[in-house]
Amino acid sequence: MLPLLYMVATSLKTYGETVTRVSSNPFHPFFWPKWNNLQFVNYLVSWQEGIGSYFRNSVIISTVTTLGILVTSIPAAYAFSKLRFWGKNTLFTILLLTLMIPETVLTIPNYLTVAALGWIDSLAALTVPFMAGAFYIFLLRQFFSQIPNALLESARIDGATNFRTMISISIPLVKGPLFTISFLGFTGAWNALQWPLVVTLTETWRPLTVGLLKFMSEAGPESQLRMAGAAIALLPIVLVYIVAQKQITDAITQSGVKG
């Protein structure tokens, strides 16, 4: 809370003010910029200095990743929950095991793989690996399992194929969890640092996380620019949070409790 106020306050100061006009007490006037001289231009400057394009990149990356997660996880979860096939349990256990692997072990070999594929610095490298979400499949499968089979049977009797049943009946019934997964997937991709850092070389597809990092060193002592950049970075997520607060807290609790 306090740090966020500090961020906003500092982002509106001039450079000179960040050095001379300081206080750790939010009730002290020095904490805040001069009211007649609010430097909104800081936001413009940091946007143009790169934050703008980084922001755009992150939006694209996160959206594509989320779509990818949905497209891959929904059928898989549906298959595990409603279809019968050979090797079902084995494959499910394998999926379970992948959840226990920590991310760091995967970074180095995946980097080598991606380099071999020629995907360095491309959108593909930034999105495809994130679509592998055993966790999302588990979550969805749990909810799909709650759909009474009788419902699906009646559709089948009416002549619908599995695919049709999935699309028209099952999916609408799991809207809540779908939102959860979309939110988690989106923020996961939005917040990712280690992988994009490794996989981007130039500014082309650099996401906000990496961009902010570089921005920190480039902007140097210009705290007010950095604060403006950080504010831009967190604004969309915070806005979404304020609007969809209930769903988001539910999403977090669900993913936490089910682990």
Q: Which of residues 112-141 bind other proteins (CB under 8 A)?
A: 112-113, 128-129, 131-134, 137
63 interacts with other proteins by CB under 8 A: no
CB closer to other proteins out of 146 and 249:
249
Q: What three-state secondary structure class fits 195? A: helix
Look up tokens 């679509």; give the residue: 131
Binding-site size, other proteins (CB under 8 A):
86
- Residues 29-58 vs other proteins: string with x where CB under 8 A? ------------------------------
Q: How many CB atoms lie within 10 A of CB 233?
A: 21
CB closer to other proteins out of 35 and 105:
105
Site for other proteins in 69-88 (CB under 8 A): 71-73, 75-76, 78-80, 83-86, 88
CB 13 within 8 A of CB 41: no
- Residues with Cβ within 8 Å of 18's Cβ and at least 6 positions away in sequence, in order, are 10, 222, 223, 224
Site for other proteins in 198-217 (CB under 8 A): 198, 208-209, 212-213, 216
Which residue, 154, 174, 177, 190, is CA-closest to 251? Answer: 177
Interacting residue with other proteins among 19, 41, 151, 243 (CB under 8 A): 19
* Shortest Cβ 202–other proteins spacing (Å): 16
Given the rule CB under 8 A, which of 40-48, 102-110, 144-152, 170-178 is the region that contacts other proteins?
A: 102-110
154 interacts with other proteins by CB under 8 A: no
Longest dimension (CA), the chain: 77
Look up tokens 């999916």; give the residue: 171
Which residue, 40, 29, 33, 30, is CA-closest to 13? Answer: 33
190 interacts with other proteins by CB under 8 A: yes
CB closer to other proteins out of 41 and 216:
216
Given the rule CB under 8 A, which of 4-12, 37-45, 143-151, 174-182 is the region that contacts other proteins?
A: 4-12
145 interacts with other proteins by CB under 8 A: no
Given the rule CB under 8 A, which of 35-43, 141-149, 167-175, 230-238 is the region that contacts other proteins?
A: 230-238
* Shortest Cβ 146–other proteins spacing (Å): 19
CA distances from 122 to 14, 125, 185, 206, 207 (A): 37, 6, 20, 9, 12
Cβ neighbourhood burial of 110 (10 Å; 0-12, 13-18, 19+): middle
Given the rule CB under 8 A, which of 34-42, 99-107, 144-152, 173-181 is the region that contacts other proteins?
A: 99-107
- CA distance linking residue 23 with residue 7, whole number of Å: 13
Spell out where the chain has E strands.
none
